[in-house]
Amino acid sequence: MSILGAVEVFFTKFVASNTQLSTLMNMVYSRFTIATVIAILLTACGSKDTTYQYKTQYLPIQLVGSEKWSILDVQTGEVVAKDAFVNPPSPIVAGMYYVMNDDGSYDYYDVSAPTQPVAGHFGSVTSFSDDGIAVCSRVGGPLCVIDRKGAVIKELPKEVSQCSMFARGMAAIQNDNGLWGYINASGDTIVPASYSSANLFLYNDLALVIDEKQASDSAVNFTVIDKGGKVMFTASSSEYQPVQPYYINGVLPVVKGDTLVCLNAEGKEVDNPIADQEKVEKAGYDNYSRTPAGDYIVVKGKKTGMVDKNNQVLVPIEHDNLIDINGERLIAVDGDTYHIIDRNGKAVGNVKFSNAHVSEDNPFATRGFIDTDLAAASLMMMFDETSACGANASTTLMDMNGMLGTDARMYAGSNSLVMPQGPYIIQYVFDREVATANADSTAASFNYDARVNRVIMSLNVNHCPSSTEQAVVKKVESRLGTKGLVFARDGIFCSDYLTALTLGYDKGVINAIYYMHFNESVPQPRNKRK
């Protein structure tokens, strides 16, 4: 766990959820590594005021020696629910959180009664917002906006297939035509679904959207709107390439040529709102990153600490890692255990834990039913007889360098990369490890010549009726001939180029596995839900 890692995970989930924005962001990655981008994000766009997505008071943790999940009050350092859950609770916002049940459904809880469900057995959910509202659906039912008691505020129209979590009183919705708009906290449509992609009003009353009709072969145009849908300005990625898909403290950081600049609400270039890192920069740390509260987590050698903008030490540089939680509390990592400290390095309580859940699982809730024809068609758009999701038999890790972070140790021992694409999860599997660690695991190197040997396209339909996966697979199989793939044996379809595709499902998840080499293909199980 690292501060860069936590921000990177959060950032990537929203960027990767739509193709146009992913394309635009990949243009940035061609010049800047992800760590550089995030470091710039935190440095250039922080604030003297605390700017966090939400105020974190409670943290889901696993106590040392336990496989179950507990809830820790980070302000007091006390455990408020010990070993209460087998599955990890979601991040706790405004005292509310959800936990997945063994059958794949979700229950909501209030931390005031941490083990008693407020409302439950939802097929799909989002986290609550600071406003005390969330979005969820039941199997077979439409999406609903609910309050913290589980009461329905509004049932969304049946044509709304996805809805994001709420941020600053607004949520992004997607209809069956794949277009995006926005609703308010009452569930009323404020911005009709007309954009090919939309992002949240995370820290500001402005959001970045993309209208595919404005795109060209060489550039992606993006538009900034306010919460009423008013267009503030439109710009082209040929001039400006956003570093992130949202405003912080009134500015949007973008790359212009090879320079980072900031745009205000009117799209005009403005000075960096925060340029107070000079003393930290001159101190010669091996690495540093700015927290939203305006302090700096710094690295010297193998140890980490925290200083203020004047390079005055707040937390001594003696920890293996530090993760900023809310500007007042940090997770200190020492060896294999974590504990809570305040911004002056003083221990808060004496609880030791081995794991913490700090990233959002479900930024979008999905309607409790899908159009199986549309699901089959969207899956088939991802592959043809020679490639799947942009990869073919000659694709190497070097070709996918834009998907990688800078620390190869994060990938050591794994032979795959995972990238969301709308409701699908895409997994690129290579013929060897993505990265190899050295003998003492202090460093690792990427295996850039590793080659993609299969691509796994997964769609979770556990929130839909139990016949959904069979219907989608049947419709895909009936159309595979249009992609040059014909039945070979045991549920395996082969092309003239000796690529192959298999389809299966288990526990409500549909898997389409595309093999670059037919002789490596194996059939998949097809297990109906109980």
pLDDT digits (tens, 9 = 90+) for 277-312: 889 989 999 988 888 888 999 999 999 999 999 999
pLDDT in tens, 444-503: 899 999 999 999 999 999 889 999 999 999 999 999 999 999 999 999 999 999 999 999
pLDDT of residue 6: 30
Domain boundaries, the chain: 3-33+90-270, 370-520
Report the predicted TM-score, pTM, of the whole model to 2 decimal places.
0.79
379: left (phi over 0), alpha (psi -120 to 50) or beta: alpha
pLDDT of residue 275: 66
Residue 179 neighbours by CB under 8 Å, 6+ apart: 193, 194, 195, 196
DSSP string, 190-235: EEEEEESEE----SSSEEEEE-GGG--SS--EEEEEETT--EEEEE
The CATH topology of domain 3-33+90-270 is Neuraminidase (2.120.10)
Check: CB of residue 327 under 8 Å from CB of residue 343: yes
Q: With a cut of 70, list the residues of the chain below it in pLDDT.
A: 1-51, 214-218, 274-275, 360-361
Q: How many other CB atoms are there within 10 angstroms of residue 379's CB atom?
A: 20
H/E element, 35: helix 34-44
Q: d(Cα 72, Cα 80) in Å, to the nearest integer? A: 6
Q: Which residue has the tokens 């921000």?
A: 7
